[in-house]
Amino acid sequence: MNIKKAIIPIVIILVSAFATRALVKSRPEVETQEVAPLAPLVRVTEVARQDLRFDVVAQGTVLPRTETTLIAQVAGEVTSVSDNFETGGFFTRGEVLVNLDRRDYEVAVRRAGAQVAQARLALVQQEAEAQVAVEEWGELGEGEPTSLVMRQPQVAQARAGLEAAEAELEKAELDLERTRIRAPFDGRVRAKRVDRGQFLTPGGPVATIHATDYAEIRLPVPDDQLVFLDLPFSYRTSSGASGPEATIHGRFGRERHAWQARIVRTEGELDSRSRMLNLVARVEDPYEPDPENPERPPLAVGMFVEAEIDGRPAEGVFVLPRAALRTSRDVDQMLVVDADERLRFRDVEVVRLDGERVVIGGGLEDGVRVCVSPLDVATDGMRVRTVSAGGGEQ
């Protein structure tokens, strides 16, 4: 029994070994296969020609067409002011804004008038005496009379006295008129500096005012953007033609409003540091309400605005994301995917770089698929898998 117990495990082990060897020998041969590398997946967009306009965006601050400081030309106490003579008040051209005490100037006018009358009488007397002298010389004298005999110097002196008296009268009347300080144009009071009861001296400031017939906006534009605009550059022989139209956008609270403007001129020099040229846009009647948008506020002086300036038209161009452009050694290129799903380099003509988009004028055709994915390594003829930039594998 002990021998049997010792032999049975040995037999089992031998049988298992023979069975394992038989299984190993009967297994099928394993064939090794090479795994092809997976082509990179890229996003592509199919291009098509289109027409567009090269608008230029700029920002600036609203400025008045004319701003001036009213001053007093004569001295006097302020006796009254116009109801519109308040900060922010509107006035019309020729309106009397401030009245000064007129009594001293009225007296001066009467005094000057009396002096004119006296000078006129003196002239009449001298002319009469000269006439008598001519008649007496004709009866008693011989030869040609001298100017002194004809009393010509006395007549000239009397005539000069009359002219001086009339000039004094004109000056007194002008000073009297200047006691009424009038508005030189239609405008608005920006800062009021005097009020009733205050005494003004000649040259004293009365108010700061600005015109309201139109507003101007200085718009700095980079020099590389000027080529896209038909600008009214100033030459000696300039005909004064106006420039392109522009749309002015400004925010009032949370609302965004628009005004129509036109570029009327360029300033005299290009900034040497920023390489920008200031364009001047004009908005007519900035304080007139808009019939189509009664909620639109006036285009107030000092408002910060953004302008979209109408640019030159471009026909048959391609607009692509800026990521599609690859520049190497000053050569602008793009990657296109051919019918065999392989990348091909294309030299392209860049017309404009605008923010996150690029405008191509040449080097592409309608229907070409352009790669817009960033690739660290790209070779001509490299196989790729494609997916539309809008989604969906092709």
pLDDT one digit per residue (tens) for the chain, 394 residues: 556 666 767 767 776 777 677 666 666 666 666 666 778 888 999 999 999 899 999 999 999 989 999 999 999 999 999 999 999 999 999 999 999 999 999 999 999 999 999 999 998 888 888 787 777 776 666 667 677 767 778 888 889 999 999 999 999 999 999 999 999 999 999 999 999 999 999 999 999 999 999 999 999 999 888 888 888 665 554 555 678 999 999 988 888 999 999 998 888 788 888 889 999 999 999 998 888 888 888 998 999 999 999 999 989 999 999 888 988 777 889 999 998 899 999 999 999 888 788 999 988 999 999 999 888 888 889 898 888 876 545 5
Query: How far apart are the C-alpha atoms of 300 and 215, rounded to whole Å?
Result: 9
Q: Are residues 287 and 353 in the same domain?
A: no
Nearest CA among 82, 72, 104, 114 for reference residue 176: 104
Tell me, yes or no, whether 11 lies in a domain: no
pLDDT at site 219: 94
pLDDT at site 247: 94
Query: How far apart are the C-alpha atoms of 378 and 346, rounded to whole Å?
Result: 13
Tell me, yes or no, whether 373 lies in a domain: yes
Q: Are residues 231 and 166 in the same domain?
A: no
Tell me, yes or no, whether 4 lies in a domain: no
pLDDT at site 348: 92
Domain that holds residue 73: 68-101+179-210
Tell me, yes or no, whether 282 lies in a domain: yes
Tell me, yes or no, whether 17 lies in a domain: no
Q: Which two tokens stand for residue 176?
A: 């009297």
CA angle 218, 271, 59 (to 5 degrees): 30
9's enclosing H/E stretch is: helix 2-26
Tell me, yes or no, whether 5 lies in a domain: no
Q: Write the DSSP string, 222-267.
A: EGGGGGGS------TT-------EEEEEEEETTEEEEEEEEEEEEE
Q: Domain boundary at 188, 210, 232, which?
A: 210
pLDDT at site 329: 74
Note whether 184 and 68 are within 8 A (CB): yes
Q: Are residues 261 and 278 in the same domain?
A: yes
What is the count of structural domains for the chain? 4
Q: Domain boundary at 296, 312, 328, which?
A: 312
Q: Are residues 237 and 199 in the same domain?
A: no
Amino acid identity for residue 339 in this structure: A
Q: Domain boundary at 177, 201, 223, which?
A: 177
pLDDT at site 390: 63
Tell me, yes or no, whether 197 lies in a domain: yes
Tell me, yes or no, whether 96 lies in a domain: yes
pTM for the model stands at: 0.70
SS3 279: strand
pLDDT at site 132: 77
Other CB atoms within a 10 A radius of the CB of residue 139 amount to 6
User: Which residues fall within 8 angstroms of residue 84, CB to CB, at 6 or more apart?
Assistant: 90, 91, 95, 97, 189
Tracing tokens 């900034």 back to the chain, one arrives at 271
Q: Are residues 291 and 232 in the same domain?
A: yes
Q: Are residues 322 and 346 in the same domain?
A: yes
pLDDT at site 23: 67
Q: Are residues 95 and 189 in the same domain?
A: yes
CATH number for the domain harbouring residue 204: 2.40.50.100
Q: Are residues 91 and 183 in the same domain?
A: yes
Q: Are residues 228 and 162 in the same domain?
A: no
